[in-house]
Amino acid sequence: MSLCYLSHLTFQALGDPTLRIEDVTPPITPAGKLQPIEERTIDLFEKTTYSVVNVFDASLRPQLKQTGMVEIPEGNGSGIVWDTQGHIVTNYHVIGSALSNNPAYGQAVARVTLLNVDGSQKAYAAILVGADKTKDLAVLKIDCPPEVLRPVTLGQSSKLRVGQRCLAIGNPFGFDHTLTVGVISGLNRDISTQVGGIISGSIQTDAAINPGNSGGPLVDSSGNVIGINTAIFTRSGTSAGVSFAIPVDVVAKTVPQLIMFGKVLRPGLNVQLAPDSVAKQLNVKNGALVLSAPETSAAGKAGLLPTKRGLAGNIILGDVIVAINNVPIKTSLELSKILDDYQVGDQVFLKVERDNNLTELSFRLEESNQ
């Protein structure tokens, strides 16, 4: 009986001729003025989004591995407009499949989609200009009118502080021109990439970065690029609030060389250093132990001594590099990191430990052949 009564009331309400739409519509509050921080975020996005492109390697579909390790999805990513000559910067791993096929010069390795000011999008074939697997960076080039290109503005990653605001723009899961906001949550992180390199000094952020964001920009509150989004730490394949970006200082140093030479002219000693685990077994507790130093190398010509075996088969330790330009060296990995701050041709002073004495050698760095 109660059900019948309820039905009757409902029928009456629905059919009540005295009711108007206005009577059953709650008041709508007019849109208020946006907060200054919201206005600034919108302005930053609208200014930067035209400098962000979609980069697609048609030879590989994204595949995520739930390993709990730092994961770098491949195949579909983002990129930034570097200049009005058509250079596009992205991650090496985004086009890694195409690069593994050793493309011929001038062969298209990706499709790049640009957003025009009228909201339309246009795809261009992109050829490879240069790539560096170690830094997980690649430069592409598209043939398009200069007036449609909106190059990014670069900031400084060396001045970043934990806690400052940052924004990530990219194409996560194929959703183009997506904005996420967060803070710098860590600095100077060393992360291992799936393409076999270690990116030192990486920026950690809690801004949501997902598959497809790779190669896109991380920008500061002024809209300047401070990093290139490259990796996420995840157990599910999606953002877990711990993401990483290549510092823009590294990008600004690497990209011009890729444009000019197609590769990075990396400085090196061109000597063989003992792995740190081996050095410890030989009782070298501090520094980088030299295993071999070819006489043809600049370091060899300067007098750097290698490790060798004595007449009785005993191991005679070579020089142990303990400082470069008065910067202490504790391990061979530290030496490699420090050399990244130099250029081919720079004069360096090595302080080496030899027969329990300190010796200083001087020479100019040459291009690494390793």
Residue type, 33: K
Residue 59's pLDDT is 62
Could you state, in chain order, the average pLDDT of each consecutive group of 10 residues for the chain (370 residues)?
A: 49 65 84 86 91 81 46 69 96 88 83 88 93 92 93 94 94 84 91 69 88 90 93 60 89 94 90 90 90 90 90 86 93 87 91 91 88
Q: Where are the domains of the chain?
A: 37-264, 267-367
Architecture of domain 37-264: Beta Barrel (2.40)
Per-residue pLDDT, 6: 47
List the one residue out of 140, 143, 138, 92 whose CA is nearest residue 122.
143
Q: How high is the pLDDT of residue 60?
A: 54
> What pLDDT is recorded for position 72?
42
Question: CA-CA distance, 204 to 184, in Å (whole number)?
Answer: 6
pLDDT at 90: 95
Catalytic residue among 57, 87, 132, 136: 136
Residue of 57, 78, 87, 93 with catalytic role: 93
In the prediction, which pLDDT does 73 show?
43
Catalytic residue among 51, 78, 202, 214: 214
Classify domain 267-367 by CATH number. 2.30.42.10
Say what the pLDDT of residue 226 is: 96
Note the pLDDT of residue 70.
43
Active site residue 214: yes
User: Across-strand partners of 207?
Assistant: none
